[in-house]
Amino acid sequence: MVQIYDPNFVRQLFDEMSATYGIVNLISSFGFCRRWRRQCIEQLSYRESLTVVDLMTGMGELCPAIAKRIGPGGKIIAVDNSPVMCRKAWQNHDGRLGCELDIREEDALGSEIPDASADRVVCSFGLKTFSLDQTVALAHEVHRILKPGGSYSFIEISVPPARWLRVPYLFYLHQLIPIIGRILMGNPDNYRMLGVYTVAFGDCHTAVAAFRQAGLDPSRRSYFFGCATGLVGAKPQTPSNASQGW
Ligand SMILES: C[S@@+](CC[C@H](N)C(=O)[O-])C[C@H]1O[C@@H](n2cnc3c(N)ncnc32)[C@H](O)[C@@H]1O
């Protein structure tokens, strides 16, 4: 039985999907993925020269919107453990953003980003491929890399709570997205996995609990009737009494 949260399995999945990920994501979300990325970024305030970490950056989809907000003195640290995704991120953005860009092929659960070095941490659609334990580890990692007072915003595709939307949504996710994936020359089994992850993920409630446990004071967000959910918050200025356990 394949361990769907095994980092090697997830890395290979995204390596293989990288050729078609962008277009399938856009078509299969009816364009909503762009709007949700923008909304994820807009949850936070920015100013010139901030350091922003984009976790699970993929092909750097969030980078242009971040760069616009932090200007030439700012820095984006983009993290992804898929070598193919990182290569595409470089191809898309190297020298084009107008701010410093550091793309790191690293595990977001154990990166070499220094402690307390990030002003902002953002992440679009990178939560669903983590198990509960990995989500807890991620929360502690976000706490570690954020400066005191630094803030974060995460967004993820979710299963909407209302039945009238959930039934057609799940049909679409399970039946139609793999077909779109096949038409666009991807492997339909890979796109089927996105449905498996999304159903197992549900929504951001587990991540909210993990981030709260890590002392990151999250609030939950819902986007378009819960078809995406998110969490937004900040690391306290003073050390909290966050528990190290779940
Ligand atoms: C669904 S894509 C999202 C990409 C992009 N943020 C977007 O908005 O489309 C998830 C990304 O997370 C990356 N990823 C999954 N697990 C990871 C891990 N443990 N560390 C770093 N990146 C990871 C995958 O390689 C993939 O590129």
Can you give the residue ranges of every domain in the chain? 32-157+202-241
79 lines ligand 1 (CB under 6 A): yes
243 DSSP 8-state letter: -
Cα(167) to centroid of ligand 1, in Å? Answer: 27
**CA pair distance 179, 188, nearest whole angstrom:** 6
103 lines ligand 1 (CB under 6 A): no
**CA pair distance 26, 87, nearest whole angstrom:** 20
Cα(155) to centroid of ligand 1, in Å? Answer: 12
In sequence order, what are the beta bridge partners of 124? 155
Query: How sure is the predictor about 186, in pLDDT bands with cuts at 50, 70 and 90?
Result: low
CATH number for the 32-157+202-241 domain, one of 3.40.50.720, 3.20.20.150, 3.40.50.150, 2.70.98.60? 3.40.50.150
Close Cβ partners of 166 (under 8 Å, ≥ 6 residues apart): 159, 160
Average pLDDT over residues 73-101: 96
126 lines ligand 1 (CB under 6 A): yes
Could you report the per-residue pLDDT of 147-161, keeping only the tens digit for each? 999 999 999 999 999
Q: What are phi and psi of 181, to 5 degrees?
A: -60, -40
Query: How sure is the predictor about 2, in pLDDT bands with cuts at 50, 70 and 90?
Result: low
Q: For residue 202, what are the CA distances in angstroms to 28, 64, 190, 221?
A: 18, 29, 19, 14
Cα(138) to centroid of ligand 1, in Å? Answer: 13
89 lines ligand 1 (CB under 6 A): no
Query: How sure is the predictor about 61, in pLDDT bands with cuts at 50, 70 and 90?
Result: very high
Q: Say if residue 35's pLDDT is above 90.
A: yes
